[in-house]
Amino acid sequence: MKYTCPSCRKPGVGGIAKRWSSRGAPATCEACGGLSHVLASTSNGIWATGVVIVVASLIGALGLHSFLLFFSGLVLAIACNLRAWKRAKLVPISKESVAHAKTANWFLAGIFVLFGLN
């Protein structure tokens, strides 16, 4: 499935590219070559909602001794995830902003490695 590019308004961004897009690794439109990404708050919110639904259904299933509740929670989490990614908006980003975001990502990765070595 192709999603609408925010730059050219044509369907040119693939579903997998949209899901994995970020400021440092944006999705590229196949129609115009424009760069876009889903905001980090949106993608993290989608992930966190799925985790909360699965954990709540697991706790309910263990408390009520019903694995049917867990499986229905799992199906609900998958359905919510698919619907949320379908509705997530792509935001255009410039090549300069991508370069700055990549630099910041590598800098943070280096700091995490330094703290991890202690």
Q: How do residues 8-34 score in pLDDT, each as one tens digit?
A: 999 999 999 999 999 999 999 999 999
Residue 35 pairs with which residues in a beta bridge?
A: 28
Distance (Å, whole) CA 67 – CA 74: 11
Looking at the fold, whether 101 and 113 belong to one and the same domain comes out as yes
Phi first, then psi, for residue 37 (nearest 5°) are: -150, 165
Looking at the fold, whether 77 and 93 belong to one and the same domain comes out as no
Looking at the fold, whether 22 and 50 belong to one and the same domain comes out as no
Domain that holds residue 114: 1-39+89-118
Looking at the fold, whether 94 and 83 belong to one and the same domain comes out as no
Per-residue pLDDT at 14: 94
User: Are the C-beta atoms of residues 68 and 76 closer than 8 Å to each other?
Assistant: no
Looking at the fold, whether 80 and 58 belong to one and the same domain comes out as yes
Looking at the fold, whether 83 and 93 belong to one and the same domain comes out as no
Whether the pLDDT of residue 118 is over 90: the answer is no
Looking at the fold, whether 15 and 26 belong to one and the same domain comes out as yes
> Which whole-number Å values give the CA distances from 74 to 15, 27, 46, 66, 80, in the listed order?
22, 28, 14, 13, 10
Per-residue pLDDT at 62: 95
CA atoms within 13 A on the CB side of 67: 0
Distance (Å, whole) CA 51 – CA 57: 10
Tokens matching residue 114? 């330094």
2-18: b (≥16 Cβ within 10 Å) or e: ebbbbbeeeebbbeebb
- How many domains would you assign to the chain? 2
